[in-house]
Amino acid sequence: MAWLLVQLKLRLLRNGLRSSAQAKAGFIISSVIAGILAIGTFAGLAALRGNDASVDLTTVVYTVLALGWLVLPLMTFGLDGTLDPATLALYPLRTRPLAVGLLAASATGAWPLANVIGLLGVTIGLARGPLGLLIAVLAVLIEVMFCITLTRFVTTWLAGLLRSRRGKDLAAFMIIPIFILYETFVQVVPKLTASGKLTAHSFTGIDSWLRWIPPGLAAHAIQDASTGRAGTALLRLALLAAVTVVLGWLWITSLDRALVTADDSTRTSAVHGTALRFGRYGLRGTVAARFWLYQRRDPTGLITWVLTAVIMVVAAVSTITKPHYMVGLMISAIFGSAFAGVYRANSIGNTGPAFGLEAAALAGRRALRAYFTGQDIVVGGMAVTLLTVISFALAAVAKHPVDGFLAMAVDVAGTGAALALANMFAVAAPYPAERRVGSPTLRPAEGYRGPAMGSALGTLAGTAIAVIPVLVGVLLTSGDPAAIRMPVLVLCAGAYGIGLAWAGVSIAAGIGAQRLPEITEIAVRSKL
Amino acid sequence: MSEPAIVVRGLRKSFGPKEAVAGIDLEIAAGSFAGLVGPNGAGKTTSLSMMTGMLRPDMGQVLINGIDVWADPVAAKAVIGVVPAESRLFERLSGEELLEYAGRLRGLPAGEARSRSAQLLDVLDLTADAKRLVADYSTGMRRKAALGCAIIHNPAVLFLDEPLEGVDPVSADVIRRLLTRYVSSGSTVLFSSHVMELVEQVCDHVSIIDKGRIVATGTTDEVRGGKTLHQAFIDLVGSRANDGEGLSWLGSSSS
């Protein structure tokens, strides 16, 4: 059974390579990243040799990798057919050989191998002497087994939920901490390291509590063995192995249950409220009501707002506490407003086949103008509120809270421009979107990466250009009293933004009325 | 005979080198319950999409109650309702919100849309699930919701693409009774289906499409010509039988 499931996993990997050029590229990129992770982790752990905080840092690295094993399968669930026990439920298999087989399948592939290689960096960085080396190798193997058992237990335990709509929604939100972590590593850590605020010693003492969790046990076992405390080392390893065995037992138990339990998609919750809002505002209000509900209920919509907020903060973080804080404040406002449009530059394609329902009723320039206006009222209202709050928060961090009004002027003008561009791209260059199982965000269907990139870059660049008059206004009025300057700038920028949005709606409605069948056909091809 | 509700003349559509619809002509009288049947890939969905203004034809004309669908799509869309093959519903709306949204998109006042939505949910046996998200609906419930969206504005002509595909017998019966009642009031239904028994049972007019062409059209009795519709269909489009020779191991006598 184990060998059969390993073969299945290898076959799935091989078929993934054959399916399309995009899948092939994805596999190659994934393998290259796994290789880089293996080498990087190995080198990073090896470089800790002689470092006072080596055991603390090793504990942190082991913990981060275990967290990766815990979180990533929840996001990519569905990509690995061997992860879902339901796919095997039809066959006459006993639980124990099935569990061994699934475990073996989990350990097959580039990423598990990369983990083993990377973690073996401790043989240089932390281990001393033959006993230290032996314990290090054992610790790495048990740690990887722990990670695999942990991920198997969690995915099996949640398998029913992850197949359901609500489970997928929940998993989608995991992109937020991951995106924040990514941005922190890419933007914040290098700056803190360069300024000397983050050193290896920053982690000293962090393992006072991490040492008691399984990855910490592995790291400390190696240190104990290296410093002659073989008994303690073996005790720690035994404890780690015991935790792994308990997890394995829990996993087999949940596997037994998962094979004969229906998924949770039938358990549903009712929504509150009895009617769509904005009823008296005609088609515009009707569309606004639908968009308003979607912004609240669709995780993709909520996630894009959080990502926009993160982008704004990250764009300003390096300069906001410095004398030239205005640069960060303005860049943050431009990025924030541009991304409010970027995420909606394919609004019809992202609506998917349901747009057919709207297209069956909408016809003509007038109806489409109402459609885009209704959409803009909701998205624009949310964007301006969010962007303004963040701009004022950043201005407060910079200790110049009143300058939040200047950023607000850019926010409102930028939002108007971004929505205008988004609406125009939505009808002029729509593309079918698709959602991979477990993936939080939509991506262009195969063969449509070019138009998607064009819409995103076009909206970004167009918004940046459109806010230039506001930036010029901010500069030219810098000597004027704030009490006059701020409201005038905000009002003028608001009128400018509304004007741009209105022009965008008119142009988009004109194009949309001409191309409605073609646009609908593209939307219907989306797989959401 | 009544005035035709649907007139199709020389409708053609190609996708690259493949000719999906190779010039069809069709005339459906007002008040008819008409069926469009054909094997997979015959051009049923493409034809219905072009008739409803959702797919631009390469050539041809479609008139609904005398309105040219492609010359005046606004007027044409006002008199038709469409239930596409794949449910095109807003998953994150509840059933009642969805129907109300469809009604208001069609220009019904908010109160009227809400009232009709409640009545349709009742008739379609969805009242108990009215506040659940459409994403959590079963296939049958989704088909019923899609039908509700298509008729909430009381269209004169209703197009349905495989309306009973994947629907349980109870839900199918609800849909069938609603459609029969709708037609008896003088409205017109054109629907595509694979289920010959259903077509034979409810339709007074049948058209058989194969390889993008109408190969037979007329009243149900004319088309079946004394045989069952199933047999007439097989005779017209040709049987693609393969009796599974070579599967000698299949069956309880083998191991």
Q: Tens of pLDDT along B78-137?
A: 899 999 887 778 888 889 999 999 998 888 888 899 999 999 999 888 999 998 888 888
Q: Tens of pLDDT along B144-185?
A: 999 999 999 999 999 998 888 777 888 888 888 888 889 988
* Domain C-terminal end among A230, A262, A294: A262
Higher pLDDT, B195 or A523: A523
Q: Tens of pLDDT along A463-507?
A: 999 999 999 999 998 888 888 889 999 999 999 999 999 999 999
**Burial class of residue B89 (count of CB atoms within 10 Å of its CB; 0-12, 13-18, 19+):** buried
The reported pTM is 0.72
Report the residue from B55, B104, B132 with minimal CB separation from A286: B104
Buried b (16+ CB within 10 A) or exposed e, A21-37: eeeeeebeeebeebeeb
* A288 and A188 part of one domain: no
Q: Is residue A106 part of a domain?
A: yes
Higher pLDDT, A436 or A311: A311
Instruction: With CB atoms and an 8 Å threshold, state whether B88 touches A357.
Output: yes
What is the average pLDDT score of chain A? 83
Residue A77: its pLDDT value, please?
Answer: 45
Contact list in B for residue A276 (CB cut-off 8 A) is 97, 100-101, 104, 110
Contact list in A for residue B56 (CB cut-off 8 A) is 517-518
Q: pLDDT band for position A61 (50/70/90)?
A: confident
Q: Is residue A35 part of a domain?
A: yes
Q: Is residue A369 part of a domain?
A: yes
Q: pLDDT band for position A266 (50/70/90)?
A: very low
The DSSP symbol for A403 reads G
Domain interval for residue A150: 2-262
Instruction: With CB atoms and an 8 Å threshold, state whether A357 touches B102.
Output: yes
Higher pLDDT, A11 or B156: B156
- Nearest chain B Cα distance for residue A519, angstroms: 9
* A145 and A288 part of one domain: no
Q: Is residue A419 part of a domain?
A: yes
The CA distance from A417 to A505, in Å, is: 11
| Span A22-45, average pLDDT | 83
What is the phi/psi pair of residue B213, to 5°? -125, 145
Residue A322: its pLDDT value, please?
Answer: 79
* A149 and A248 part of one domain: yes
Residue A524 forms contact with B (CB below 8 Å): yes
Residue A438: its pLDDT value, please?
Answer: 47
Residue of A nearest to B150 (CA): A357
* A344 and A395 part of one domain: yes
* Least-confidence region, from A42-46, A75-79, A115-119, A475-479: A75-79
Residue A237 forms contact with B (CB below 8 Å): no
- Nearest chain B Cα distance for residue A157, angstroms: 21
Give the count of beta carbons closer than 10 Å to the beta carbon of residue A344: 26
Number of H helices and number of E strands within chain A? 24, 2
Instruction: With CB atoms and an 8 Å threshold, state whether B53 touches A268.
Output: no
| Span A62-67, average pLDDT | 84
ipTM of the complex: 0.79
Instruction: With CB atoms and an 8 Å threshold, state whether B107 touches A283.
Output: yes
Contact list in B for residue A271 (CB cut-off 8 A) is 94, 97, 131-133
Q: Is residue A269 part of a domain?
A: no
Residue A164: its pLDDT value, please?
Answer: 64
Q: Is residue A237 part of a domain?
A: yes
Residue B190: its pLDDT value, please?
Answer: 93
| Span A53-68, average pLDDT | 84
Residue A78: its pLDDT value, please?
Answer: 44
- Nearest chain B Cα distance for residue A80, angstroms: 24
DSSP string, A70-134: HHHHHHHTTT-GGG-GGGGTTS---HHHHHHHHHHHHT-SHHHHHHHHHHTTHHHHT--HHHHHH
Q: pLDDT band for position A240 (50/70/90)?
A: very high
The CA distance from B62 to A212, in Å, is: 74
Residue A138 has pLDDT above 90, yes or no: yes
Q: Tens of pLDDT along A439-449?
A: 566 778 877 87
Give, for B8, the enclosing helix (H) or strand (E). strand B4-15
Q: Is B131 in a helix, a strand, or coil? A: coil
DSSP string, A256-318: HHHTTS--GGG---BPP-SS-S-GGGHHHHHHHHHHHHHHHH-HHHHHHHHHHHHHHHHHHHT
Contact list in B for residue A297 (CB cut-off 8 A) is 92, 133
Contact list in B for residue A520 (CB cut-off 8 A) is 54
* A235 and A309 part of one domain: no
Higher pLDDT, A110 or B48: B48
Residue A514 forms contact with B (CB below 8 Å): no
- Top residue of A164, A166, A276, A294 to mutate, by most chain B CBs within 10 Å, is A276
The CA distance from A77 to A436, in Å, is: 10
* A363 and A227 part of one domain: no
DSSP string, A438-459: T-SS-EEPTT-HHHHHHHHHHH
* A307 and A456 part of one domain: yes
**Structural domains of chain B, ranges and CATH numbers in brackets:** 1-79+157-168+188-240 (3.40.50.300)
Q: pLDDT band for position A79 (50/70/90)?
A: very low
The CA distance from B161 to B153, in Å, is: 19
* A233 and A134 part of one domain: yes
- Contacting residues for A57 by C-beta, under 8 A, at least 6 apart: A48, A51, A200, A203
How many structural domains is chain A composed of? 2
* A233 and A342 part of one domain: no
Residue B138: its pLDDT value, please?
Answer: 86
Q: Is residue A137 part of a domain?
A: yes
Higher pLDDT, A436 or B132: B132
Alpha-helix residue ranges (DSSP H) falling in chain B? 44-51, 73-78, 95-105, 110-123, 139-151, 169-184, 196-202, 220-224, 229-237
Residue B71 has pLDDT above 80, yes or no: yes
Residue A117: its pLDDT value, please?
Answer: 92
Instruction: With CB atoms and an 8 Å threshold, state whether B73 touches A274.
Output: no
Contact list in B for residue A518 (CB cut-off 8 A) is 56
* Least-confidence region, from A18-27, A317-326, A378-387: A18-27
Contact list in A for residue B128 (CB cut-off 8 A) is none
* A309 and A188 part of one domain: no
* A369 and A456 part of one domain: yes
* Domain C-terminal end among A228, A262, A296: A262
Q: Tens of pLDDT along A360-418?
A: 888 789 999 999 999 999 999 999 999 999 999 999 998 999 999 999 999 999 999 99
* A248 and A315 part of one domain: no
Residue A22: its pLDDT value, please?
Answer: 60
The DSSP symbol for B174 reads H
Residue A262 forms contact with B (CB below 8 Å): no
